[in-house]
Structure 1
Amino acid sequence: MENHCALIRRNASPHRTSLTGTWCLCALLLLSCLADRAAAQPPQAEIDAAIKRGVAFLKKKPDYGRSGMNAFVAYTLLKTGESPDSPYIQNCLKNIMADHNQKNSDGEIVYTPGGDYNYTAGVQLMVFEAISPEKYHNEIKTTVDFLIRTQQPAGSWYYPQQEPNNGDTSITQYAILGLWAAERAGVMIPTRVWDNAARWHLTTQLPNGGFGYHPGGKTDRGAKHTMGVAGTGSMYVISRQLYPNGQPRSASTTGKEGEPKKKFGFLEKVNLTEKDKEGEENLFTKPTIALSALETGKTRGANWVVNNYNYRNPTGWPNYYLYGIERLAALADAKKLGPHDWYADGARHLLMMQLEDGSWKGSGNIDAATCLAIIFLAKATVKTIDRKYKPDPVGSGLLAGGRGLPKNLAEVQMRNGKVESKTLSGDLSELLAQLEDPATADLDTTQETLVETITLGNREDLIKQKDRVLKLIDARSPDVRRTAVWALARTNDFRMAPYLIRSLKDPDLSVRIEARNGLCTLSRKIRGLGMPEDPLADVPEDLTKEERVIIADQWADEATRRWQKWYNSVKPFDEKFNLYEVLDQLPKSKSK
């Protein structure tokens, strides 16, 4: 343009040169303005309208059935602000729950995701966490157990039904997103799972900082845009989980923030993990991957993404790439990726590419491409970052009304103008003494300290105090009985099962449910036998107290029968000399 203007000036009169120069200047200013407008973020009203059209397209299909798309659509709608109680999302949940109610060859209910396997499992966890971590705690746990079982030894994920290989960066990404959602929901993931995933990403990251699809596989063709944002984003998540606040994860940095300890007075949720060869697994082991190694990997990955930035992503799956960009930018807390205004670029591109029916055409599934576009426009990850499930403890906020104060006021102290209980020593014998004399104990503080002491301490110390704990299951206070039941389950001694089974008929419902949870822990049967975690959850509110008691007793009778049958099949040999019980285990002969 400047050369063209100079040529005009050389062949024109002074008067015309002035006019021509002015014209050139105006043209340049106009082009500059048009360029700035092209780089600007579209008006929010246009973005909202595009999201609305996309949601309408997704809802045209009445049912997505048992597939990963079913959960993906539900998650997309939730991130656009749709109520979990809407009929459409409730239908999605019905389909999701079908995966959690499959039966194996023995007739036991097991979790069996649809054909998308780990994609499905990961997104289902994201849905459960977005709706209600408390309500879907058991489903979250069974899904987590599935992902832990299907993690390959090297630390990646793939399709369980296929031959093991060196992993899939895309599938691994969604497994990690699901496990991250589970930890936000309060279900702790063993350190080894994150540690192995970290090692896999660092060893498969390419020399240039990018990631391939199937590292080292026959179809691997080097770094890809989609896998670059997937692998780098996964490393950001892993780093947050292994080193929260820059420190190695522990019960104090992880469990206390996320794990809901009470519901209707329950000490804590059932939190089962697989056992290793040495017995019960310690969730909070020291990471073997150094923080510095993760930081280096994250930096190299982010640099590759910035240097190869292309919001149109000509190599395929553009909307998958954009969702990865949105997630990476949110995790890195970056309004721009280098010089690139990623959201303005992506929003302009998506608004231009949206079809008349509200959908987006991707390299594969149109429904999936539409979900990915909507999630990007809605900035779904930004809404997720640092979201922790923190239920209010019983009695919180009521100190001014006289509730929540320790019963023994000599055991309080002032801190920052607030009344707090003095911290107990954590000695198990002292804590049991507090429970043995509940009139002078601060039960909330005692329970909290006891849970931490038993969870993180030496289990042999608990076994030595077993007889004292057994006496407490007959205490007058239901809080004390509930605490004793919880502690007995943590002995890992099957001989404690009869006491827990007996407590299934405790006069207090919360003790019954703690006994049920304890049996789940002891038996490793997360779904339990004969009684759900909250047996009165679906009972109509208009029933009388007496009617509710009858229903609770019916649940207790069925649970007692089934748990006793289980115990008879696994109890120690020296307890199996009851002739009637032996006969009960024999197969019944068929009458002719």
Structure 2
Amino acid sequence: MQSQEVAQIVAELERLRSAGQMYGGQGTQGLGQGDLSNTQFAVLALWIGRRYGVPTDPVLWKTADAMRRSQNQDMGWSYILGASNQTSTHAMTAAALMCLSTGYGALRETYLSTTGKSGSPSQKAPAPPDPTKDPAIVRGTMFLATIFRTPFETLAQQGFGSVPYTLWAMERVAMVYDWKTLGGLDWHAWGATYFFRTQAPNGSWNDNNRCGPVPCTAFGILFLMRSNLATDLTAHFRGEAVLRTGDDKPLAGSKPDSKPDASAETNPASDTEPPKVFTLAELTERLITGSDAEKRAALDHATQAPGGIYTLALAQAIPRALQANEQTEFRRALVRRMTRMSTETLHAYMKHVNPELRRAAAWAVALRDEQSLVSALVPLLEDNDADVANTAYLALKTLTGKDFGRSATAWKKFFEQSVQP
């Protein structure tokens, strides 16, 4: 960036700051009220401008303050800040969390570069604020985590109504905050199932022309690639404590070095009241019968609990689900389980007699970028179940970057040539 360009940007920022906008002044003539969607992109541009010496910190701080003052009672944010006639959406909540993150990033850099009162660089700088204790971020993250209980069909009716846009908004903020999980669940595996299932034959995505195929395809690629537009901002959050909102708790049985609970060793009930053991038929029945709360609890447990019986129960529950959204949730849970399995177990499920298990295994291979099992996807192209064959085809395209159609022969030839010396 040329020095004159920096000067022009600084002058424009000064003009906008003096003119004001929502929550700040008289308003900028001719530019309207403003909205949170455009604000998030402006904030990203301002953050990048800092790399070139543009003094954007005051604007970033002011924007973050506006987010705190405009959070809705349900812990989320809406398209127009403070509008009483609009409801919170997941996309706009992610946008607000992005704005809060840049405010913290700028403030953290200021703190880290501050010397003590004596002016000595060797004197320890004051500790920067901890975003894990910011009520707005904690509440916003809790609202965003409710996305997992929202069917994709319902997301399509929220706000702007674009599922690809919403998923990319979630991916963008998850990467910046360095979340491996959200609400204890794998946010990337969950969202990737949507893109794998809705990709058009020509490789694009669409949202009933709300954004259109070009933006939606970009959103899909950015999501699947785990893009991060502000890696320097992520570094600040890695330097802080992990957000304590239930985001990065390991799934049951997934942390081998965890210490046993001392209370369990001293509690006599742990010896006299062993947990009830359910049969496969009982576990399957619990997933599809009972109240909504009971079924949700059964699904959460089946998603996280170790043991192959839960994998089989989910697979058996899918064709018995009475509602399409329940069937979708069972499939997501099954894929999430598959992504945690060993390569050998995953390969075995790719050859299982149950088509739901074969399909979920193929998804998991793609989501994990499991290159050792790429060639094992080829036989699934000839699977008797059309959904399994389609999933294998999409997984092959994703993992290889090639497209040889749905011919198993063509793909076999490709892999044979790839291993030749």
**Interval of TM-score (by shorter of Structure 1 and Structure 2):** 0.3 to 0.5
TM-score, scaled relative to structure 1? 0.32
Choose between structure 1 and 2 for higher RCO, CA contacts under 8 A separated by at least 6 residues.
1
- The structure with the largest alpha-carbon Rg is 1
Query: What is the TM-score when the length of structure 2 is the normalising length?
Result: 0.44
